[in-house]
Structure 1
Amino acid sequence: MCGITGILAFNEIGRINLANLEKATHTLAHRGPDNQGIYSTQSVGLGHQRLSIIDTSSNGNQPFQILDGRYVITFNGEIFNYQKLRKELLSKGIQFKSDSDTEVLLHLFAQEGKDCFNKLNGFFAFAIYDSLENSLFIARDRLGIKPLLYFYDDSKFLFGSEMNAMLSYDIEKEIDQEALNYYLQLNYTPSPLTMLRGVKKLEPGHYMTVQNGQISKHQYYDVPNDNLQTSPLNYHSAKTQLQNLLEKSVERRMIADVPLGCFLSGGIDSSVITSVASGQTQSLKTFSIGFEENHFFDETHYAELVAQKFKTDHTTFKLTNEEITNHLSSIIDHIDEPFADSSAIPVYLLSKKTREHVTVALSGDGADEIFSGYNKHSAWWKMENNWKFKTLISLINPVAHFLPKSRSGALSNAARQVERFANAMKMNATDRYWFLASFTSQTQVNQLLKHPLNNYSQRNSWMEPMTDVKSINDLLRLDTKFVLPNDMLKKVDLMSMANSLEVRVPFLDHELVDFVFSLPESMKLNGSIRKKILQDTYRSILPVELYNRPKKGFEIPLLDWLKTSLSGELNEHLFDKEKIISQGLFNWSEIERLKKQLFSRNPEDTHARVWGLYVFQKWHSKYL
C-alpha cells in the first residue's frame, strides 16, 4: 500500500511542472512512510511513497524498472495471486531481482499489456511508463478500492493518489459547480467528478493510455448483471460455494511480511471475516471501537462476544468526546476534497489505534452492497412486494410526521425512517434511488446555492441502470458501482492511509463478487431478512446474539457533538454571516435556517447537512 503520483509532459511548458514532482510525492508520505522514490527524465516523472508489506527489503522500492529501463512502474496496492503469476513467468524464462508483487505486475504487463487484468486478483492503482513508446498507462482496480485522480491540458498529463498531490503541480483551483451540487446532496462527490474543475477520478475497472498528447479511456471490468446470467445452484450448494470462495479470499489477504489483524465491529460482516481469518492463523489480533459517553452507538459488547468465540487477541478502544474533538483537525486535514461521511471519524481513530499494533487489517466492507445489508434494500423490496408494509407506512406516517426525527435515538430514528420511506414509495425507481442515497433534496440545494445547477446530465448518467429495474440485484449493482467506491471505500482509504495502515476487503474479491451477483435476489433478501445467504451460511458459526438485532452501521453521535463540543468550530467556520456572504457560494438565510433547525427539537438529518457544509468550509479555507 502506497501513494503514487506522476507527470507526462507534452511540451516545454509541461516540462516546467516536473520541478514539482518531489513536492507532490512528499504530500503522500503518510500513505507510505517507509521509502520515497523518484524517477524522472526530460518528459516524465513518477513518484512513490512506500508502505512496505510484501518483500520489505529495498529490492521492492519503487518506481521499479525492468528490461533495461523500458518499463517503469509506480504502484499502489497488492496483487494477492502474485506468487502463482510469478511461477508462470519464471516458466517463460523471466528473471526476477526481488520477491515483490510489484515486479510480477510489471513483467506481466510487459508480456500481456492490457490483457494482464484478466489474471490479476487484488486491489490497485498504478501507472506504467514505456520509455520506448514514450507512453503512460494508468489503471484502477475493478471495484475502486484504491483511488486514482488525473488531470490534463495541452501541456501535460498528471495523476495522483490524492488531491494534495495534484495541487502540488500548481494547477488552477476552481470549484466545479456540478460537483458542489452533488456533494451537497450526497456528502461525497462521485467519480469521475472532483470538487476541482479539470481534476477527475478514474472510475473503477478502467484504464487510460496517454501518448503523443492523445488520451483514451477504456473499461475492462463491470459488475455482472444478474439479468443476463443467473446461477443454477440450489440454496445449499450456493452456501457451500460462498463459504469456499470467502475462505480463499481471506487466505489470499492473509499474505503479508508484516503484522496483520482484523477490524471487528460486532456486526455480521466483520464477524464473518474474523471467524474465517481466525481459522488460518494461531493468534489473530482484532480491534473494535466504541463510545464511552453514548451507549446507543456503542456495539463493542457484540465484538467482544465474537472475540471470545474465536479466541482472538482482542483490543477495544473506548472514545470520549474530548478525544474525538482533539483529533478532529487531523481528521479533516486528511480529507483531500470535501467528504462528509461522518463515520470517517471513528474509522480514522480505529485506524490510528490499530496501527500501533499491526500494519495490515482485514475489514468487512462491501458485504452490505453485494448481499443487501441496508434498511433501504429491505424497504425497497417491501415497497414492491408487500402491500401490508405499504399500508402500515401510510397509516403511521401522519403520526410520525409530528414526532421529532433524528438518528440519535431509537424512536426518533424510526420516525425519520417512516417518513423517508413514505416519501420514497411515491417515486419511480430512478428518483427513489437518488432520494434514498441523498441527505438533501435538489430543491433544498437550490435554495442553499447562490448559483444553482441547471443541467443534471451527470446524475442521469449515474442513474441510468435504474430505468429498467427487474430485481433487487439492479439496486445492489448500482450501490456497488456508485455508493461503494465513492463513499465507503474512499472513507476507508483516506482514514486508514492517513495512519499508514493497509486495509484489505475480502468481500470484494472479484471472484466472490461475480459469484454473488449470479445469485437471485431471493437468496439475498427475503422480506425483512437482509444478507440472507451470508447470515445463513455462518448462522451455526457466529454467536447467536449477533442475529435479530437492529442494524446501526458505523454511526456516531454527530448531532450531540455538533450541538456541544463542536459548536465553537461551527460558529467560526460556518455560522459566520460575514464569511458566508464574502465567499459568494451560499445564501446566508438558508445557513441561518439550518442552524435553527440543528438546535431545535426536530433536527431530522440537518446534522448531516451541517457537517457537510462545515467540512466544505474547512477544506475551502485550507486550499482556496
Structure 2
Amino acid sequence: MCGITGIFAFNEIGRFNLPNISNATETLEHRGPDIQKVYVSDYVALGHRRLSIIDLNPEANQPMMSEEGRYQIVFNGEIYNYKSLKKDLSQKGVVFKTESDTEVLLQLLIHEGKDALNKLNGFFAFAFYDQHKEELLVARDRYGIKPLYYLEDEDRFIFASELKAILKFGIDKEIDSNALYSYLQLNYLPAPLSMVKGVKKLMPGNYALVKKKSVEFNTYYKLEDTFKKPFEGSYEEAQIQLRSLMENAVEKRLVADVPLGTFLSGGVDSSIISAIASKKVDDLHTFSIGYKGHSFFDETEYANAVAKHIGSKHQVFSLSLNDLYDYLPDVLKSFSEPFADSSALPVYALSKLTKEKVTVALSGDGADELFAGYNKHAALYRLWHPGFKEKMVSSLSAIWKALPKSRNNPIGNKIRQLHKFAEAYKLDPQDQYWLLASLLNARKSSELLSNNLLEKIDFESFDLWKEKLLSPLKSKSINQALQLDQELVLQGDMLQKVDLMSMQQALEVRVPFMDHEVVAFANSLPESFKVNGQRKKMILQDTFRDILPTKIYNRPKHGFEVPLLDWLRKDLKSDIENKWLDKDRIVDQAVFDWDEVQALKKKLFSNNPEDSHATIWALIVFQEWWGQYMK
C-alpha cells in the first residue's frame, strides 16, 4: 500500500515538468511514510512513497527496476494471488530477488504485458514503463478500490494517487463546473470527474497505454458482464458457494508481515469478516468506535456482542463531539478534492486509533452494494412491487411534507424516509433511483450556484451521462440498481472514503467482499435471493447465521453516521456564520448564490432542518478545499 505519481513528457515543454516529481511524490507521504524514491529518464519520471506490508526488505522498495534496467514499475495496492503467479513464472525460468508482490507484478507485466491484468486478484493502481519501447502502461483495479487521477494535454501525461500530487506539476487550476454540479447532488464525485478541469479519474477496470504522441484508453474488465451469467442452482447451493468464496477471500487478505486486525462495527458485514478471520487468526484484534451521549448513532452494544461471540480481542474507541471536532482540521486537510460523506469523520477516527495497534485492517465494505443492504434497496423493491401500504404512504405525501424531518432522531428520520418514498412514488424508475441516491435535486443544486458558474455548466452533457447511466432501470430490476450502486456509489463514495481516511493514517484496509470472484458470484444471483418486501441481504445473512450472535439480526439497518446536525448547530455555528459561509466570502468567491446559501443556513437552524446539514457540510468541505488549493 503506497502512493504513486509520475509524468510522461511528449515534448521539450513537457520535460520542464520532470523536476517536479520529488515535490509531487512528497505530497503522498501519508500514504507511504516508510521511504520515498523517484526514477527520472529523458522523458519519464516516476515517484513512489512506500508503506511496507509484504517483504520489508529494502530491495522491495519502488520504483522497482528489472535486472537489465529496461523496465520500471510504481505500484499501489496488493496482489493476493502473487504466490501462485510467482510459482508459474519461476517454472518459466524467472529468478526472483525479493518476496514482494511488486516484483511478481513487474515480471508478469514483462512477460505478458496488458494481458496480465486479468490474472490479478487484488486491488491496485500502477504504472509500468518500458524504456526501449518508450511506453507507459497505467492501470486501475476492477472496482476502483485504489484511486488514480490523470491529466493529459498536448505536452504531457501526468498521473497520481491523489489530485494534490498532480497540482504540484504546475497545471492550470479551474473548477470543473459540471463536477461541482454533480457534487452538490451526490456529495461525492464519481469517476471520471474531478473538481479541477482537465484532471480525470481513470475508470475502474481500465488501463491507458501512453506513447510519445498518444494516449490510448482501453477496458480490460466490464462489471456489467458479471450480471449476464445467471446462477442456476438452488438457494441452499448458493449459500454453500458463497460461504466458500468468502472464506477464501478473507484468507487471502490475511497475508501480511505486519500486525493485522479487523474493523467491527456490529453490523452484519463487518461481523461476517471478523468471524471468518477469527477462525484463521489466533487472538484476532477487532476495533470499533462509539459516541458518548448519542445512543441513536452508537453501535458498540452489537460490536461487543459479536466480539464476545467470536472471542476476539476487542477495543472500543468511545468518541465525543469534541473528539470529532479535534479531528476536523486533519480530515478536511486530507481531501485533495471535495468529498462530503460525513461518515469520513468516524472512518478517520477509527483508522487513526486502529493504526496505533495494527498496520492492516479488514473491513466489510461492499456487501450492501452486492447483496442489497441499503434502505434504498428495500424502498425500490416496494416502489416496483407496490401494495396497500405503499399506496397509503404515497397518498399521505402532503402530511409527510408538512411534518418536521431530521436524520438526528428516530421519529424525524422515519418521517424523512416516508416523505422521500412518497415523492419517489410519483416518478419513473430512473428518477426514483436518482432521488434515493442523491441528497439534493438538480433544481436546488442549480439554484445554489452563482450565475457565473451556471453559465459554464454543460447541462446537455450531464443529462446525456445521467440518461445513459440510468437507462437499464427501465426494467425495474434490483440487480440493475445494484450494478449502478457498484459503478456509482461504491466506487465514488464508499471505497474512496475508506482509502482516503485510512491512508491518511498509513493504515492499509482490505475489503474481502470486493474479491472479484465474490463480486462475480454475487452479481450472478437472482434478486429474489437478496431482497424482498421484508428483508435485505437475505442470502448473506442466512449463509452466516450459524457463526454470528442472534442479537445483531434483530436490529434496524444503521449506517456509519455521525451526529452531524447537533455538531453544526453548536460547535461549528460560529465558523459557519463567520468563516465558511460568511456573506463577504461567498460574494467575493462568486461560486455560490448568497441568497440561497442564506436560506440554507436558516433551514439548518430551524425546527425542520430536513437534509440541510448534509448540504451545509458539502459547502464547508468545498470551502476548505478551495482555500487550500484554489484560492
Q: Same fold (TM over 0.5)?
A: yes
Task: Tell me, in whole angstroms, the C-alpha distance in 2 between the residues paired with 1:192 and 1:573.
Answer: 31
- Structure 1 residue 467, shift from structure 2 partner: 1.8
Task: Tell me, in whole angstroms, the C-alpha distance in 2 between the residues paired with 1:545 and 1:456.
Answer: 50
Is 1:457 aligned to residue 471 of structure 2?
no
- Structure 1 residue 462, shift from structure 2 partner: 4.7
Aligned to 2:383: 383
Aligned to 1:397: 397
Task: Tell me, in whole angstroms, the C-alpha distance in 2 between the residues paired with 1:294 and 1:369.
Answer: 27
Please say if residues 76 and 125 of structure 1, whose CA atoms lie closer than 8 Å, have aligned partners that are also in contact: yes
Aligned to 1:504: 510
- Structure 1 residue 198, shift from structure 2 partner: 0.5
Aligned to 2:579: 573
Please say if residues 362 and 509 of structure 2, whose CA atoms lie closer than 8 Å, have aligned partners that are also in contact: yes
Determine helix, strand or coil for the equivalent of 1:540.
helix
Task: Tell me, in whole angstroms, the C-alpha distance in 1 between the residues paired with 2:267 and 2:498.
Answer: 17
Aligned to 1:348: 348
Please say if residues 6 and 160 of structure 1, whose CA atoms lie closer than 8 Å, have aligned partners that are also in contact: yes
Number of aligned positions between the proteins? 624
Aligned to 2:185: 185
Please say if residues 339 and 621 of structure 2, whose CA atoms lie closer than 8 Å, have aligned partners that are also in contact: yes
One-letter amino acid of the structure 2 residue matched with residue 291 of structure 1 = Y
Please give the residue correspondences for 1:230-379 in structure 2 after superposition, counting only pairs within 5 Å: 230-379=230-379
Task: Tell me, in whole angstroms, the C-alpha distance in 2 between the residues paired with 1:111 and 1:468.
Answer: 39
Please say if residues 260 and 359 of structure 1, whose CA atoms lie closer than 8 Å, have aligned partners that are also in contact: yes
One-letter amino acid of the structure 1 residue matched with residue 34 of structure 2 = D
Task: Tell me, in whole angstroms, the C-alpha distance in 2 between the residues paired with 1:139 and 1:389.
Answer: 48
Q: Find 1:540's aligned residue among 526, 537, 546.
A: 546
Q: Which moved more, 1:221-230 or 1:410-419?
A: 221-230
Task: Tell me, in whole angstroms, the C-alpha distance in 2 between the residues paired with 1:118 and 1:225.
Answer: 14
Please say if residues 352 and 505 of structure 2, whose CA atoms lie closer than 8 Å, have aligned partners that are also in contact: yes
Q: Find 2:562's aligned residue among 553, 556, 559.
A: 556
Task: Tell me, in whole angstroms, the C-alpha distance in 2 between the residues paired with 1:311 and 1:394.
Answer: 47
Task: Tell me, in whole angstroms, the C-alpha distance in 2 between the residues paired with 1:508 and 1:312.
Answer: 23
One-letter amino acid of the structure 2 residue matched with residue 359 of structure 1 = T
Task: Tell me, in whole angstroms, the C-alpha distance in 1 between the residues paired with 2:472 and 2:168.
Answer: 43
Please say if residues 137 and 208 of structure 1, whose CA atoms lie closer than 8 Å, have aligned partners that are also in contact: yes
Aligned to 1:527: 533
Please give the residue correspondences for 1:428-467 in structure 2 after superposition, counting only pairs within 5 Å: 428-450=428-450, 451-452=453-454, 453-467=457-471
Please give the residue correspondences for 1:584-623 in structure 2 after superposition, counting only pairs within 5 Å: 584-623=590-629
Please say if residues 224 and 514 of structure 1, whose CA atoms lie closer than 8 Å, have aligned partners that are also in contact: no
Aligned to 2:171: 171
Task: Please give the root-mean-square deviation of Cα atoms over the aligned residues, in Å.
Answer: 1.1
Please say if residues 64 and 74 of structure 2, whose CA atoms lie closer than 8 Å, have aligned partners that are also in contact: yes
One-letter amino acid of the structure 1 residue matched with residue 351 of structure 2 = S
Determine helix, strand or coil for the equivalent of 2:446.
helix
Task: Tell me, in whole angstroms, the C-alpha distance in 1 between the residues paired with 2:552 and 2:301.
Answer: 10
Runs of 5+ unmatched residues, structure 1: none
Task: Tell me, in whole angstroms, the C-alpha distance in 2 between the residues paired with 1:227 and 1:376.
Answer: 20
Please say if residues 291 and 298 of structure 1, whose CA atoms lie closer than 8 Å, have aligned partners that are also in contact: yes
One-letter amino acid of the structure 2 residue matched with residue 606 of structure 1 = S
Deviation digits for residues 519-553 of structure 1 (CA, Å, limit 9, x no counterpart) = 00000112121000000111122111111311111
Distance 1:123 1:374, change over 3 A: same
- Structure 1 residue 463, shift from structure 2 partner: 4.7
Please say if residues 80 and 122 of structure 2, whose CA atoms lie closer than 8 Å, have aligned partners that are also in contact: yes
Please say if residues 573 and 614 of structure 1, whose CA atoms lie closer than 8 Å, have aligned partners that are also in contact: no
Task: Tell me, in whole angstroms, the C-alpha distance in 2 between the residues paired with 1:312 and 1:203.
Answer: 38
Q: Which moved more, 1:383-392 or 1:511-520?
A: 383-392
Aligned to 2:484: 478
Q: Which moved more, 1:318-327 or 1:138-147?
A: 318-327
Task: Tell me, in whole angstroms, the C-alpha distance in 2 between the residues paired with 1:591 and 1:454.
Answer: 23
Task: Tell me, in whole angstroms, the C-alpha distance in 1 between the residues paired with 2:119 and 2:463.
Answer: 33
Task: Tell me, in whole angstroms, the C-alpha distance in 2 between the residues paired with 1:374 and 1:390.
Answer: 18
Task: Tell me, in whole angstroms, the C-alpha distance in 1 between the residues paired with 2:579 and 2:364.
Answer: 35
Please say if residues 79 and 123 of structure 1, whose CA atoms lie closer than 8 Å, have aligned partners that are also in contact: yes
Determine helix, strand or coil for the equivalent of 1:517.
helix
Task: Tell me, in whole angstroms, the C-alpha distance in 1 between the residues paired with 2:568 and 2:578.
Answer: 13
Task: Tell me, in whole angstroms, the C-alpha distance in 2 between the residues paired with 1:19 and 1:316.
Answer: 46
Aligned to 2:91: 91
Task: Tell me, in whole angstroms, the C-alpha distance in 2 between the residues paired with 1:459 and 1:20.
Answer: 38
- Structure 1 residue 285, shift from structure 2 partner: 0.3
Aligned to 1:134: 134
Task: Tell me, in whole angstroms, the C-alpha distance in 2 between the residues paired with 1:537 and 1:463.
Answer: 37
TM-score by length of 2: 0.97
Deviation digits for residues 2-44 of structure 1 (CA, Å, limit 9, x no counterpart) = 0000011111111111111000000000000011111111211
Deviation digits for residues 262-318 of structure 1 (CA, Å, limit 9, x no counterpart) = 000000000000110000011100000011121110001100000000110100000
Please say if residues 224 and 518 of structure 1, whose CA atoms lie closer than 8 Å, have aligned partners that are also in contact: no
Aligned to 1:75: 75
Task: Tell me, in whole angstroms, the C-alpha distance in 1 between the residues paired with 2:624 and 2:289.
Answer: 26
Q: Which moved more, 1:293-302 or 1:392-401?
A: 392-401
Aligned to 1:30: 30
Report percent identity of matched pairs: 51
Please say if residues 191 and 201 of structure 2, whose CA atoms lie closer than 8 Å, have aligned partners that are also in contact: yes
Task: Tell me, in whole angstroms, the C-alpha distance in 2 between the residues paired with 1:140 and 1:205.
Answer: 6
Deviation digits for residues 55-99 of structure 1 (CA, Å, limit 9, x no counterpart) = 011011000011411110000000000001000000000011111
Determine helix, strand or coil for the equivalent of 2:348.
helix
Deviation digits for residues 366-425 of structure 1 (CA, Å, limit 9, x no counterpart) = 000010000110110111113223213124433322221010011100000111111111
TM-score by length of 1: 0.98
One-letter amino acid of the structure 2 residue matched with residue 85 of structure 1 = L
- Structure 1 residue 497, shift from structure 2 partner: 0.2
Q: Which moved more, 1:541-550 or 1:253-262?
A: 541-550
Runs of 5+ unmatched residues, structure 2: none
Task: Tell me, in whole angstroms, the C-alpha distance in 1 between the residues paired with 2:81 and 2:2.
Answer: 19
Determine helix, strand or coil for the equivalent of 2:361.
strand
Task: Tell me, in whole angstroms, the C-alpha distance in 2 between the residues paired with 1:468 and 1:291.
Answer: 40
Is 1:515 aligned to residue 509 of structure 2?
no
- Structure 1 residue 455, shift from structure 2 partner: 1.7
Distance 1:232 1:491, change over 3 A: same
One-letter amino acid of the structure 2 residue matched with residue 267 of structure 1 = G
Please say if residues 271 and 306 of structure 1, whose CA atoms lie closer than 8 Å, have aligned partners that are also in contact: yes
Deviation digits for residues 569-617 of structure 1 (CA, Å, limit 9, x no counterpart) = 2123333111100111111000000010000000000000000001101
- Structure 1 residue 459, shift from structure 2 partner: 4.9
One-letter amino acid of the structure 2 residue matched with residue 311 of structure 1 = G
- Structure 1 residue 454, shift from structure 2 partner: 4.6
Task: Tell me, in whole angstroms, the C-alpha distance in 2 between the residues paired with 1:246 and 1:463.
Answer: 35
Distance 1:53 1:181, change over 3 A: same
One-letter amino acid of the structure 1 residue matched with residue 71 of structure 2 = Y
- Structure 1 residue 432, shift from structure 2 partner: 1.7
Aligned to 1:424: 424
- Structure 1 residue 456, shift from structure 2 partner: 4.0
Please say if residues 288 and 303 of structure 1, whose CA atoms lie closer than 8 Å, have aligned partners that are also in contact: yes
Task: Tell me, in whole angstroms, the C-alpha distance in 1 between the residues paired with 2:160 and 2:226.
Answer: 34
Determine helix, strand or coil for the equivalent of 2:223.
coil
